[in-house]
Structure 1
Amino acid sequence: MRGVRKQGNYTNPCLTMHQPWASLLVYGIKRVEGRSWPAPLRGRLWIHAASKIPEEATIKAMEEFYREIYAVNGITDLQFPQHYPVSRLLGCVEVVGCVRCEELASWEVVPEGVRLEAQTDFCWLCENPQKLLVPFEMRGYQGVYNLEKKVYEAAVRGLTPVKGPLPVKFPLPDAQDPFSLKPGSMCTNFPENKSTAVEKSSTLNAAIAGARAAATQFNKKNQDLLTNVMQDEKPYALRSGSKKKSSDGDAFNQGTSALAENGERNLIEHEESSSHDQPRGQLKQDPGAPSRIFAAAVKGLKPS
């Protein structure tokens, strides 16, 4: 199913993200999902982890970024996920609004650390994270897509609330309109010639630079892989004219743009060939669920 980037009808919308960003969002550490396109929905958004295994350097850079921005608000005891599973449905968040980067960065009503998460063109504002007690295996797709009914019915029973280190509530300009907090809605609330930028220390600047560098390097490797895949597959495509199924979705990186849409599908398909968990140097996570509901669900999700 092809995700759309306009306001549309979604029943159980899901977004595929790369690790470690996916788990950081579901654990309530990441409160803003950055994209190059505005959020097409409000309400519950399921989060699925793509199949690409994150490098330790990427994980370290992103964890350091969040340590520093939480320290701005006096929080120094962050508990990060013990592992970052891939090719798994992880949980969900509530998307309550979407603003532009400069709007969030200047929005004094939210904590300074949240404003520092404004690193991309559009900022999806997320609340109420919930995680699955046992993430289970499934494929993802590009953009925002609907979960299959049987996936949703199994997953919704396994959710548990997550209390993030500093939960935030983003106030709607119009409480009766869930789409009132949209790009451009906050511009009139900021007086001109008033600086609202967060004062940054040298360590904070270094953490931000490290996070951007990690995301850029992540994106560069995806671009290189994409080039190789397209070069390898082009002759075959010309010979056979065959079409391939898409799998893991939108190649998002914090602080960078998504891959070009005409090549993103090929990269996603290439990644799906190595679908497994990466428990940060420990034993692989058992994809089976401890309950009969999850065991049956996982069994039903495997391709025939």
Structure 2
Amino acid sequence: MSEVKKKKTSKALSIRQPWAYLIVNRYKDIENRSWSTSFRGKVLIHAGKKFETEAYYYVLKKHKISLPPIEEFELGGIVGEAEIVDCVEKSKSKWFGGPYGFVLKNAKRKRFIPLKGQLGFFNVEV
């Protein structure tokens, strides 16, 4: 009889590009939300299907970060992971815009996995 291997689930958070790119490439250390969370731990970073063109040009101009061309951004799937270590209402991070900020550490890129996103945190089988 073969054993059935149970799949683990991980939390994921959908974030529009170019913000997801900036997080998994360790430029952006905080994710702004209109809601707070008590969740702490590893979260998969899901790049939403929508691209924020205005944000892209804002980052290029204000932060002078070299970004890939818009057409090269991965959309609609998992692009990396990070660890949420706090949720704050104030921060000295240049990326904080509030009203709440999920403080991120240990961000890294991962191989792209196409996946439909959801609002808020959602579970993904890994």
How would you bin the TM-score normalised by the shorter chain?
0.7 to 0.9
CA distance in 1, matches of 2:63, 2:43: 22
- TM-score relative to the length of structure 1: 0.36
* 81 and 39 in structure 1: CA distance in 2 versus 1, 3 angstrom threshold: farther
Q: Partner residue of 1:80?
A: 67
* Structure with greater contact order relative to length (CA < 8 Å, sep ≥ 6): 2
User: Whose strand proportion is higher, 1 or 2?
Assistant: 2
Aligned-residue Cα RMSD (Å) equals 1.8
CA distance in 2, matches of 1:22, 1:41: 19
Q: Partner residue of 2:97?
A: 119
Within the alignment, does 1:66 sit opposite 2:43 as a pair? no
Within the alignment, does 1:19 sit opposite 2:17 as a pair? yes
- TM-score relative to the length of structure 2: 0.81
CA offsets, 1:53-74, max 9 Å, x none? 343x43111233333xxxxxxx
* 2:86 pairs with one of 89, 97, 106: 97
CA offsets, 1:107-137, max 9 Å, x none? xxxxxxx2x22211111110111111x3121
Secondary structure of the structure 2 residue equivalent to 1:64: helix
CA distance in 2, matches of 1:63, 1:127: 23
Within the alignment, does 1:145 sit opposite 2:106 as a pair? no
* 47 and 138 in structure 1: CA distance in 2 versus 1, 3 angstrom threshold: same
* 39 and 81 in structure 1: CA distance in 2 versus 1, 3 angstrom threshold: farther
Q: Is the 8 A contact 1:49 1:86 kept in 2?
A: yes
Within the alignment, does 1:42 sit opposite 2:40 as a pair? yes
Residues 122-137 of structure 1 aligned to structure 2 (within 5 Å): 122-132=100-110, 134-137=111-114
What one-letter code is carried by the residue in structure 2 that aligns with 1:80? L
CA distance in 1, matches of 2:16, 2:24: 12
Residues 228-243 of structure 1 aligned to structure 2 (within 5 Å): none
CA distance in 2, matches of 1:38, 1:13: 16
CA offsets, 1:172-202, max 9 Å, x none? xxxxxxxxxxxxxxxxxxxxxxxxxxxxxxx
CA distance in 2, matches of 1:40, 1:140: 21
Q: Partner residue of 1:223?
A: none
What one-letter code is carried by the residue in structure 1 that aligns with 2:56? I
CA offsets, 1:48-106, max 9 Å, x none? 11111343x43111233333xxxxxxxxxx443453211121010111111112xx13x
Q: Is the 8 A contact 1:29 1:66 kept in 2?
A: no
* 98 and 53 in structure 1: CA distance in 2 versus 1, 3 angstrom threshold: closer
In the alignment of these two chains, the number of paired residues is 116
Q: Is the 8 A contact 2:60 2:66 kept in 1?
A: no
Residues 229-268 of structure 1 aligned to structure 2 (within 5 Å): none
Secondary structure of the structure 1 residue equivalent to 2:62: helix
CA distance in 2, matches of 1:147, 1:87: 14
What one-letter code is carried by the residue in structure 1 that aligns with 2:60? E
5+ residue gaps in structure 1?
A: 1-10, 68-77, 106-113, 153-304
CA distance in 2, matches of 1:66, 1:129: 19
CA distance in 2, matches of 1:35, 1:63: 22
Q: Partner residue of 2:5?
A: none
Within the alignment, does 1:30 sit opposite 2:28 as a pair? yes
User: Whose helix proportion is higher, 1 or 2?
Assistant: 1
